[in-house]
Amino acid sequence: MSSAREDILDAVRRAAGREPLDSPASAALDARIITPVRHLRPAFDEDLTVRFIRKLESRSGTVARVADRAQIPAVVETFRSAHGLAPRAAVGAGLKDLDWPADWTIHYNRAGIEETLSVTPAFAGIAETGTLMLLASPDSPTTHNFVPDNQVVVLETARILRHFEDAWAALRERTGGMPRAVNLVSGPSRTADIEQTIQLGAHGPRRLHVVLVD
Amino acid sequence: MDIRSHEFQPRAVAALRDTSLQQALDKARDGFVAKRAVQVAELSEFEALREAAKTLKDHVLDHLDHYLERYEAAVVAAGGHVHWARDDAEARRIILDICRRVDARTVTKGKSMVSEEIGLNTALIDAGLTLVETDLGEYIIQLAGEAPSHIIAPAVHKTREQVSDLFEQAHGGPRLTEIADLVDAARLALRERYFQADVGITGGNFLIAETGSSLIVTNEGNGDLTQTLARVHIVTAGIERVVPTLDDATLFLRLLARSATGQETETYTTLSTGPKRAADLDGPEEYHVILVDNGRSRMLAGPFREMLRCIRCGACMNHCPVYGAIGGHAYGWVYPGPMGSVLTPLIKGLNAAYDLPNACTLNGRCASVCPVKIPLPDLLRRLRHEQFKQSITPRRKRRALAVWHLLATRPKLYHALERLAARALAAIGARAGRIRRLPGARGWTDGRDLPAPSGRTFLERWQAERGQS
């Protein structure tokens, strides 16, 4: 008995009325994978940072801007106390060098079920839709993006790119290949599954706060 | 899921009389349409993107074997496993084998229409596994013991009151009535489940040959919790879901969110590539993809090939007057509305779903909003033709069509009868201006009044008015 794989591929080829592709045809398609076709992208004139903030805020994200990295803990503290959260957080190891308040309980591990706040570095921002791009790594565990009720994401303003395609290009240039998970996050978690009424905090964070570092 | 499409007519009639369903449909109908319209108006490139997406999908379908092989190689290179399933039974068997091998007890599931198509839930439960649907809509209908009635809003047929009742039964009191409280209750109930899960199953909106990634879009984040916290992540996807590159996926993403939920983007777009890496602090230990054929390669060979461009946005059902009147359950299987009326007969057989291609007015709204330009009314008409050719069309209808043919090819006779009918109907409805009951046309008058004609045919008026000018 032939394998399911062969049966399916054979059926697909029969449908196309041909044998497996010869090597020139196959090479042409591989070239199309290596050098992606450039598709039409939504045009806009707006400043990238202005647009990123406007789009993210339109989906209930909040944004704070700081002049340098050293100010990040203070912004997180303001956010934490404004929402009455306990002084503890899961912090991405990429932010270990910052001067976190001594009276906080901080860890650099994955987010556990009781986690209320995470602080995580983003790889890039996408101005087109006000979207954050977070890459899974020991410095930025995926659970930080989904488990806690509150997430603060740190993004360098210079890392705000125009379109999704620019973010893919940046990803391809990076060493180490494709990360296990690439999370594109465009706001707090939401649902409209009950009577089409939008409600924040369905399963992921109910609050998403972005610290833009200029 | 067992198919009940042969009961379409009685179920449609029951749906029209179901007041809760009608309330729920009233709330949903305009929202989807209006939100999409706003997004489409804001993106001047939308029409050009539709055309580009159609062209791209056709390119992929022409070279599907090549892209599937490249995708498979990239998944394996990233440490993942690819399984091929010819049909639903084979897909179920593969998934159950994985569950047994890893000694799974709890399985969490993000939204996956392919998992519905292959009847996975019943198979998992029959095998003694605890299955937890994590999408809020799916969770609601799992509590209700029902199937999804919409491909992106599975509980769209439920009112808030019904959700309150279901949650009170499942979670205990007090009875919650605010939507915010209901969402919180589901969040709380599911939280531990994510952490307990041995296996997490999600769908795949796109499979990317360039990187070997599966891509899902969600708003809730449930799919991400499902696939990040379980020991094993299984992706179920149709073979037509592969795209060459990340840039190609982006072309579809720009159309998908706008067409589906009327958003510029969904909240979460996630690419998953293989299992947890050596230094990673989280992520699944195993990553599997089940590539499901289940009739797709057969579709690829024939006149219904264009249906394989479908990206499962649901815009066709949101704009369908028939779906809007009866909801999704009447269609009797996994895929409702216009796309379901094409897919169901093609996957389950023309005989099993006779009514579906006929439950359409051919008004064309679905085709006008389809982001990948599938000519749905043409495909439905072609299915009717196939039914007729294969003598599946009932004898009464075949006779009626024969009579129609006789008249339509004899214009003089046709116009004479038409004049007679116009005058007779005008006389019957003269007093009320409408006809409440008409013998022989109960199919129409049971559900609504027939407007009384003026007494003259269109042709008579045309000739008279042209004569005057």
Percent pLDDT > 70 in chain B is 100
Residue A116 clears pLDDT 90, i.e. is over it: yes
Q: Give contacts of B 229-288 with A, CB under 8 A.
A: 229, 239, 244-248, 250-251, 253-254, 261, 264-277, 279-283
Residue B237 clears pLDDT 90, i.e. is over it: yes
pLDDT digits (tens, 9 = 90+) for A184-206: 999 999 999 998 889 999 999 99
Residue of B nearest to A199 (CA): B180
pLDDT digits (tens, 9 = 90+) for B185-221: 999 999 999 999 999 999 999 999 999 999 999 999 9
Residue A118 pLDDT grade (very low, low, confident, very high; cuts 50, 70, 90): very high
Shortest Cα distance from A7 to chain B (angstroms)? 8
pLDDT digits (tens, 9 = 90+) for A127-147: 999 999 999 999 999 999 999
Predicted confidence at residue B303, as pLDDT, reads 96
- In this complex, is the C-beta atom of B353 within 8 Å of any C-beta atom belonging to chain A? no
Predicted confidence at residue A2, as pLDDT, reads 77
Structure tokens at B118: 């292959």
B84 with A5: Cβ contact below 8 A: yes
pLDDT digits (tens, 9 = 90+) for B408-433: 999 999 999 999 998 988 888 888 88
Which of B75, B183, B233 is the best substitution to test chain A (most A C-beta atoms within 10 A)?
A: B183
- The label of the residue with tokens 């303003």 reads A157
Residue B469 pLDDT grade (very low, low, confident, very high; cuts 50, 70, 90): low
The residue-averaged pLDDT of A70-88 equals 97
3-state helix, strand, coil in chain A (%, to 5): 35, 25, 45
Which of A29, A180, A183 is the best substitution to test chain B (most B C-beta atoms within 10 A)?
A: A180
Domains defined for chain B, CATH in brackets: 5-297 (3.40.50.10420), 396-468 (no CATH)
Predicted confidence at residue B348, as pLDDT, reads 95
The residue-averaged pLDDT of B38-59 equals 98
pLDDT digits (tens, 9 = 90+) for B89-138: 999 999 999 999 999 999 999 999 999 999 999 999 999 999 999 999 99
Start-to-end CA distance of chain B, whole Å, equals 62
Domain boundaries, chain A: 4-34, 48-213
Q: Are A179 and A141 in contact (CB under 8 A)?
A: no
Residue of A nearest to B137 (CA): A193
Residue B46 clears pLDDT 80, i.e. is over it: yes
Q: Can you name the residues that pair with A131 across neighbouring β-strands?
A: A126
Predicted confidence at residue B2, as pLDDT, reads 85
Q: What is the pTM of this model?
A: 0.95
Mean pLDDT of chain B: 95
**Residue A160 three-state SS:** strand
Q: What are the Cα distances from residue A38, in Å, to A173, A178, B216, B246?
A: 17, 20, 22, 11
Helix B246-260 to helix A164-173 angle (10° resolution) is 150
The residue-averaged pLDDT of B383-395 equals 92
Residue A1 clears pLDDT 80, i.e. is over it: no
Q: Which one is the CATH code of A48-213: 2.40.10.10, 3.40.50.10420, 3.40.50.720, 3.90.700.10? A: 3.40.50.10420
Residue B358 clears pLDDT 70, i.e. is over it: yes
